[in-house]
Structure 1
């Protein structure tokens, strides 16, 4: 019986060590976790604030809409800025899918995120800051691909000045289309 009890104790110890090893391997060092999930600029929050500001101020813009070779230009007051800037608000640098794929480069007043990996839709984000370190100019490039279509977008936003959205879309059966919106704030 003595050998049985000792064997039982060895089994219990082995199980305890296995659980401890599993528990330790699943937990991460908080410092390491913070490094991996370092927050990038909150693009949706920035554009949400811009939408709220523009809704309050109600600026008049000179807007040109283009589809392929046709274009129309109007001076107007945008009623729904959330809808107007929706393409900008969908950009989120803090998506988990971007964590290890985007590279970050910066100078005194410019921050650039870029990726050459085909696994994500975002390829380039350039943010220019004013002297108060507030974002003022944005250039965003992304490509959305699936089995039915491919869309390439270039989004530009210049605070209190202008914005543009350029899209080239290639749809499997329908062919290629080009869309564009350019707007200049008149004040």
Structure 2
């Protein structure tokens, strides 16, 4: 009887290891969001690299925030560029489940990504280039349901400005409008 218990124990351990190995293998997505096989423009990678570049430059920014018509302007240095560009990075369309969810239109000076399905938050991304260098990134986001609707327009022109426009309508609460415009005043062109 002793040998029966040891065999059962071995089968149990082997079964658990096989199950864990199978779960690990199934958990891997076909496309890694940070890998080289991205189908669309690497928005996260672009803003991560530019955040690091701007952190080194530490430019002075003239920033104006308008919330429901109340404006405030300041000159400042941005302490965390990654957080500052968070809305831009959240608009990344390189998720494995979205592999064929966007049409791509190549033009002489731009690439346009358009959502094929109405439920996708990021509706359009326009990447403009001059001589191979990105001159602007424009993103249109939209979310609608029976409780609220939100539209965003995000524009980033490296070393020139970034602009965030967000309009929200929430039932029972009303409208919320944000406008953030930040001009680079001390950044050196690279």
Write the deviation string for residues 91-133 of structure 1: whole angstroms up to 9, x where unpaired. 21212343233111111220001125312111111001121x2
1:97–1:147 distance in 2 versus 1, CA, 3 Å: farther
More helix by share: 1
Q: What TM-score do the two structures reach when normalised by structure 2?
A: 0.74
Structure 2: which 5+ residue stretches go unaligned?
1-36
Taking the TM superposition and a 5 Å limit, the aligned residue runs for 1:157-176 are 157-176=156-175
Q: Distance in 2 between matches of 1:151 and 1:62?
A: 26
Native 8 Å contact 1:97 1:120 kept in 2: no
Q: What TM-score do the two structures reach when normalised by structure 1?
A: 0.75
Q: Which residue of 1 aligns with 2:181?
A: 182
Structure 1: which 5+ residue stretches go unaligned?
1-36
Q: Distance in 2 between matches of 1:152 and 1:60?
A: 29
Q: Distance in 1 between matches of 2:134 and 2:94?
A: 17
Native 8 Å contact 1:163 1:182 kept in 2: yes
Q: Distance in 1 between matches of 2:173 and 2:44?
A: 32
Q: How much does 1:150 deviate?
A: 1.7
Q: Distance in 2 between matches of 1:153 and 1:79?
A: 24
Give the root-mean-square deviation of aligned CA atoms: 1.6
Native 8 Å contact 1:126 1:139 kept in 2: yes
Native 8 Å contact 1:109 1:128 kept in 2: yes
Q: Which residue of 2 aligns with 1:152?
A: 151
**What is the aligned length?**
150
Q: Which residue of 2 aligns with 1:129?
A: 129
Q: Which residue of 1 aligns with 2:79?
A: 79
Native 8 Å contact 1:150 1:170 kept in 2: yes
